[in-house]
Amino acid sequence: MSRIQVLDQITIDKIAAGEVIERPASVIKELTENAIDAGATAVTVEIKEGGISLMRIADNGCGIEREDVRCAFLRHSTSKIRSAEDLFHIASLGFRGEALSSIAAVSQVELLTKTREDEFGTRYRICGGKEEELEEAAAPDGTTFLVRQLFYNTPARKKFLKTAMTEAGHVGDLMTRLALSHPEISFRFINNGQVKLHTSGNGNVKDVIYHVYGREAAANLLKADYERNGIRITGFLGKPVISRGNRNFENYFVSGRYIKSNMISKGIEDAYKDFSMQHKYPFVVLHMELDGEHVDVNVHPAKLEVRFNNQQEVYNAVYEAVSQGLHEEELIPHITLEDTPRASEEETRQKAAYTGKSGNTGKSLPVSEAEGIVKETAEAKKEKRKLPPPSERDLDYFMEEMKKRVRSYHEQNSAAEVKDISAIYKPEVQSMRIREAVSYDVHEKSLAKGQMNLFEDKLLAPQARPEHKIIGQVFDTYWLVEYHDNLYIIDQHAAHERVLYEKTLKGMKTREFTSQMVSPPIVLNLTMQEKELLETYMERFIRIGFEFEEFGQDSYAVRAVPDNLFGIAKKELLLEMLDSLSDEISRNAASELIDEKVASMSCKAAVKGNMRLSAAEMDTLIGELLTLENPYHCPHGRPTIIAMSKRELEKKFKRIV
């Protein structure tokens, strides 16, 4: 065996870099967080080839003193903390002092920085951990990093990078979360010369959500505002109609730091459980503030994970904040029927001007011709009818803004000949340019005027009950109810499921239950872990009506079940209940979890579709919905009620245009 020896510093830095720098997004995360800590109000991030060949991070922060530049690239050099005691009160995003040394060890770095007090800035070049140049240079206030050829001296690491498009996608996700976590900072993200994200930095989280996720997401948000036991949670919750197929849209930040936490995700998803379909995940943007003494952010080199010393309190706070926000408004989906008429000649010409293409030839229109069509279309419309204000005619407003931007583009690029309007409005940037042209306020006002606000008059409010007009049942499954200027359609099965679920849950909490013997008994053959779980929570199961008897080694016979589960309880469902108690958070909330599982099992006794009900039975069911905590979704997340406005029906019959 070879003798033990101490590695040289360059090798040490390259190995250490593997803990912090995984891909281009890791570099940008560290340097952008440094810019935020430096007090920047504007940060620009530019990448080429996914960041592999070039990354530029520029900010207008405080800059770095010339005498500190060399020191900044040494391992464990930082301006954020001074002693071990400071780790308990960390208020900055960076503090470990590993980022710059790790980045410099595996790339070619050029730093240009200047403080407000200095007359000249400083340029510093360091490649592969070796200093190459330090000199005075002209520079704006703030700091700019140019990072080239990532992993150029560690080819084995470079092989694990994905395609340029994939790496750019990771950077885009990062910039999105940075913009959401710090809405007071203007972020600009440029990929291969194209602006992909540009936020205003006005401090409004909702504006950032609009710029990043678009109009539909911004129009379907509920506010979250919660504070208890020193934990404050604010932000926005997506309505169930914008649920997603993965957890990528769960954005939560602790003291401005984006993190990943199974415990926080579980709190969010548990609160949404009654509102979302299975395998659907909520859209949330939540900001959490709590005392630094309760959070350990020093458990992960990239600071993506944190540890809480009051984990159950944090889970409860997240659950209550989300649950409280979801119960503020009446969450009845409003449906619209899309018109797909044959396009008229005028609409075809209008579309040609909007997309920059004429007919089926695939050829682009010259800018001058496109502007002419826009003008002609606008004038023709004015002759036919009086146009409403700009905020109510989005398409015309977009067209006018596009025309202005074409002119602006020509003025700024007079030396370049632009022959094709599609060169300006490429598909990948068209959406972003439209959003820049029309402010979010215009969209929000348009939505408020153009659609009916269902939340002013609540169908499921006690004072509304006398005005309900039950029209009848269709397909032996759905009930039609008229209320004011809306038609409500109620799914009898989903509604009855919700009623049974909450009734059962309430009965178990007040201990109003009876047991029913089952014969033959249900035999559970358990693993050691399942047996331990059952014995741990045996008392709780017995209290709600179960009776167990030992039935040989690691087996139990279920002799009785709660009366509402008689004929429904099966071996698989009972084992599923035990499985759900296997993680730590569920164990801490075992009482509520067991109750919820039993209640959800009772839903199998609900009235089914294709069963005819009388009007009196339906009226009783609606009356029971009024008393529920969440009457808008069944326990599995499906909606119980949907609505269509009178206005929408009149549009379909061409009574109004």
Q: Is 572 exposed, middle or buried (0-12, 13-18, 19+ CB in 10 A)?
A: exposed
* Tokens coding 482: 């008229």
pLDDT at 55: 96
Instruction: Select from 409, 429, 449 the last residue of a domain.
Output: 449
Q: Are residues 537 and 615 in the same domain?
A: yes
Q: Are residues 414 and 497 in the same domain?
A: no
Q: Are residues 312 and 354 in the same domain?
A: no
Q: Are residues 514 and 598 in the same domain?
A: yes
pLDDT at 100: 87
Q: Are residues 248 and 396 in the same domain?
A: no
User: Domain range for residue 474?
Assistant: 460-657
Strands (E), 456-602: 469-474, 478-483, 486-491, 515-525, 547-550, 555-562
Asked if the structure places residue 477 within a domain, the reply is yes
> What is the domain-level CATH number for residue 529?
3.30.1540.20
Instruction: Select from 425, 449, 473 the last residue of a domain.
Output: 449
What tens digit of pLDDT does each residue of 504-551 get?
Answer: 777 766 666 678 888 888 888 887 778 888 888 888 788 777 888 888
What tens digit of pLDDT does each residue of 25-79 get?
Answer: 999 999 999 999 889 999 999 999 999 999 999 999 999 998 888 888 886 666 6
pLDDT at 178: 93
Q: How far is Cα 552 from Cα 130, in angstroms, rounded to an integer?
A: 70
Residues of the chain where predicted confidence (pLDDT) is lower than 50: 342-344, 351-378, 380-393, 409-410, 413-456, 584
* Tokens coding 581: 């108690």
* Tokens coding 122: 């400083």
Asked if the structure places residue 207 within a domain, the reply is no
Q: How far is Cα 179 from Cα 200, in angstroms, rounded to an integer?
A: 10
pLDDT at 364: 41
Q: Are residues 362 and 319 in the same domain?
A: no
pLDDT at 338: 63
Q: Are residues 225 and 159 in the same domain?
A: no
Q: Sheet with 478-483: list strands edge to edge.
A: 469-474, 478-483, 486-491, 641-645
Asked if residues 370 and 402 have their Cβ atoms less than 8 Å apart, the reply is: no
> What is the domain-level CATH number for residue 51?
3.30.565.10
Q: How far is Cα 263 from Cα 283, in angstroms, rounded to an integer?
A: 17
Q: Are residues 518 and 639 in the same domain?
A: yes
Q: How far is Cα 332 from Cα 612, in angstroms, rounded to an integer?
A: 24
pLDDT at 471: 84
pLDDT at 223: 92
Q: Are residues 83 and 225 in the same domain?
A: no
Say how many domains are in the chain. 4
Q: Are residues 472 and 423 in the same domain?
A: no
Asked if the structure places residue 1 within a domain, the reply is no
Asked if the structure places residue 258 within a domain, the reply is yes
Vertex 221: Cα angle to 334 and 651 (nearest 5): 25
Residue 323's alpha-carbon distances to 224, 231, 273, 413, 634, in angstroms, are 9, 16, 10, 52, 15
Instruction: Select from 148, 168, 198 the last residue of a domain.
Output: 198
DSSP state of 547: E
Vertex 502: Cα angle to 500 and 506 (nearest 5): 115
Please, which residues have CB within 8 angstroms of residue 553's CB and are 6 or more apart in sequence? none
Q: Are residues 372 and 468 in the same domain?
A: no
Q: Are residues 289 and 371 in the same domain?
A: no
